[in-house]
């Protein structure tokens, strides 16, 4: 039975490209698909235009509203939402620990510090989590009966994107005959440990395969105090010709082009709530080397190559095996495709609808 309620989501700003916004929109569409009324509200002006989105000041409460606060860091309006009438749930996308940005100027530093410190103060709300890792963090903060609603990701859209002219344009622009391409997709942020990827790539490029290239696809907006020294370091290493910082790529078809271009995906992140690019790499049949940490462990399961040590020589050697040994490469890809099914959108939708039934 469809509950006679309206699902109202509140987000900082709904933008194209970021995981929180994509999930917000996906949940909105999924609720409407079963005949449930849904509404989106944002606290700042985002650039998402595919669904109607209103400012939070336009919200008019109804008695049967179910309110979902999409949470990725503390801001002043969280208290406003928690005081609204109706049932309020906190959807935890995770908060990057502020220790990763202690030494750099970052405009949202306070939001990260308070984001974790305030979790226990919000434990009286209902709990929703994007992953098992996030669920456990909420439970440690005092939340009870937390529902895991994984990211609703359109696998078919991933595949279609790789066959678009925009994807082909990326391949045509960057592909060089015989060159092995490493890839990382995500913000150029301290928790991603981009420097560890570069260390391993430097060993691979200078000692194993000079015909190799590293693509770092992602924005460094507001994080220049971290990214600029890394760019200068790449110059000092003498490999600027072999490392491309693309900046923000919002067009998912273009992003798919980089996956199509890639021979290897490398993730050295030390903090992730889920890490959607890992799943994208799985679906695009790109073998993965990832550092075993936080949500990465749950997302990867037994798939890919998880490392507990960031020794650049070891990682470079594993990269060589994955790129040079066809049988080993296909074995890893096959395991990743099996793991990807754990995150199939049908399963995520089942989890969402199971929670809606409890309403």
pLDDT in tens, 182-193: 999 999 999 999
125: phi then psi, degrees, rounded to nearest 5:
-80, 165
The two beta strands, 264-267 and 288-291, are parallel
How confident is the model over 345-355, as pLDDT tens digits? 999 999 999 99
pLDDT at 104 exceeding the cut of 80: no
Chain Cα centroid distance, residue 181 = 21
Q: What is the mean pLDDT of residues 112-120?
A: 75
Q: What is the mean pLDDT of residues 234-257?
A: 96
pLDDT at 1 exceeding the cut of 50: no
- How would residue 3 be classed by pLDDT, with cut points 50, 70 and 90? very low
Contacts for 294 with CB less than 8 Å, ≥ 6 apart: 133, 269, 270, 271, 272, 273
CA distance readout (Å), 199 to 195, 239, 265, 299, 314: 6, 11, 15, 24, 11
Judged by phi (left if over 0) then psi (alpha if -120 to 50, else beta), residue 25 lies in: alpha
159: phi then psi, degrees, rounded to nearest 5:
-65, -45
Which residue from 192, 224, 20 is spatially nearest to 100, judged by alpha carbons?
Answer: 192
pLDDT for res 107:
61
Q: What is the secondary structure of 58-102 as a DSSP string?
A: G----TTEEEEEEESS--THHHHHHTSSSEEEEEE-----GGGGT
C-alpha 278/C-alpha 184 separation (Å) is 9
pLDDT at 314 exceeding the cut of 80: yes
CA distance readout (Å), 247 to 5, 66, 153, 173, 323: 41, 38, 23, 16, 26
Lowest-confidence segment of 36-45, 230-239, 257-266 by average pLDDT: 36-45
Q: What is the mean pLDDT of residues 200-212?
A: 98
Lowest-confidence segment of 20-34, 92-106, 193-207, 300-314 by average pLDDT: 92-106
* DSSP reduced 3-state for 212: strand
Q: Dmax over Cα atoms in the chain, in whole Å?
A: 66
pLDDT for res 111:
64
How confident is the model over 68-92, as pLDDT tens digits? 999 987 767 778 888 888 899 999 9
The CB density around residue 198, as the number of other CB atoms within 10 Å, is 24
pLDDT for res 100:
81
70: phi then psi, degrees, rounded to nearest 5:
-75, 120
Q: Which of 80-94, 199-213, 215-229 has the highest mean pLDDT?
A: 199-213
Domains and CATH numbers, the chain: 6-149 (3.40.50.2000), 155-342 (3.40.50.2000)
The pair of structure tokens assigned to 84 is 């609204």
- pLDDT averaged over the chain? 92
The pair of structure tokens assigned to 274 is 């889920």
Q: What is the mean pLDDT of residues 203-213?
A: 98
pLDDT at 357 exceeding the cut of 80: yes
- How would residue 338 be classed by pLDDT, with cut points 50, 70 and 90? very high
CA distance readout (Å), 359 to 2, 4, 126: 9, 9, 11
- How would residue 195 be classed by pLDDT, with cut points 50, 70 and 90? very high
Residue 80, burial from CB neighbour count under 10 angstroms (0-12, 13-18, 19+): middle
Chain Cα centroid distance, residue 254 = 17
- How would residue 109 be classed by pLDDT, with cut points 50, 70 and 90? low
């Amino acid at each position: 039975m469809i509950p006679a309620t309206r699902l109202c989501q509140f987000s900082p700003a709904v933008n194209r490209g970021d995981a929180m916004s994509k999930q917000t929109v996906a949940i909105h569409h999924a609720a409407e698909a079963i005949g449930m009324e849904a509404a989106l509200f944002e606290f700042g002006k985002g650039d998402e235009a595919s669904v109607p989105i209103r400012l939070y000041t336009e919200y008019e409460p109804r008695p049967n509203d179910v309110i979902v606060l999409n949470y990725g860091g503390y801001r002043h309006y969280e208290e406003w939402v928690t005081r609204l009438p109706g049932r309020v749930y906190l959807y935890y996308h995770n908060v990057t620990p502020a220790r990763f940005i202690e030494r750099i100027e970052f405009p949202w530093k306070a939001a990260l510090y308070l984001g974790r410190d305030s979790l226990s103060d919000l434990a009286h709300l209902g709990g929703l989590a994007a992953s098992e890792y996030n669920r456990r963090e909420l439970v440690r903060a005092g939340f009870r009966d937390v529902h895991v609603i994984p990211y609703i990701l359109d696998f078919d859209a991933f595949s279609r994107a790789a066959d678009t002219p925009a994807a082909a344009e990326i391949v045509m622009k960057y592909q060089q005959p015989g060159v092995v391409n490493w890839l990382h997709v995500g913000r150029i942020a301290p928790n991603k440990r981009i420097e560890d990827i570069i260390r391993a790539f430097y060993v691979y490029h200078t000692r194993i395969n000079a015909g190799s290239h590293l693509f770092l696809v992602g924005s460094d907006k507001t994080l220049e105090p971290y990214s600029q020294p890394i760019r200068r370091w790449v110059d000092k290493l003498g490999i600027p010709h072999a490392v491309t910082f693309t900046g923000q790529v919002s067009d998912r078809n273009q992003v798919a082009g980089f996956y199509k271009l890639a021979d290897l995906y490398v993730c050295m992140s030390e903090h992730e709530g889920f890490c959607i690019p890992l799943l994208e790499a799985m679906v695009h049949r790109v073998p993965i080397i990832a550092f075993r940490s936080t949500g990465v462990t749950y997302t990867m399961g037994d798939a890919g190559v998880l490392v507990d040590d960031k020794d650049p020589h070891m990682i470079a050697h594993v990269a060589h095996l994955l790129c040079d040994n066809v049988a080993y490469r296909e074995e890893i890809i096959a395991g990743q495709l099996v793991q990807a099914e754990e995150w199939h959108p049908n399963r995520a939708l089942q989890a969402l609808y199971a929670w809606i039934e409890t309403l």
